[in-house]
Amino acid sequence: MKNHRVNHLITISIIILLGLFSRTFTFIPLCIGDVLYATMIYFMIRFLLLKTSKLKIVWIAIAICFAIEFSQLYQSDWIIAVRKTVPGHYILGHGFLFSDLIAYCFGVLTAFILDRSVY
């Protein structure tokens, strides 16, 4: 079990680096960052709930990603201020896009397939 947690932590770290890298170059489509974000969420939940079925992790990850995306519809001064910070921007985003929901589904599905085939 400990070995799986280490592997998931390494995977999460690589995904974070790829996500930051994807924002550095303009030729990389923005949706790649959203796909990587959802993949990272999947592996973070997997890291925390290692004994939970992978299919449940899929639904939890999608629920978290969708909740964060739909929370972007809420516009209040305090949450806008949080979103203007670097961590707030990367964690909460700043504007609702339906296309992000599709990217999240693709990212979680990618993580699930990777998880089933590698771990």
- 19-44: pLDDT as tens digits: 988 888 888 898 999 999 999 999 99
Q: What is the pLDDT of residue 2?
A: 67
Q: Which of 9, 52, 12, 43 is nearest to 113 (CA)?
A: 43
Q: Structure pTM?
A: 0.90
Per-residue model confidence as pLDDT tens digits over 31-90: 999 999 999 999 999 999 999 999 999 999 999 999 999 999 998 999 999 999 988 888
- Percent over 90 (pLDDT), the chain: 74
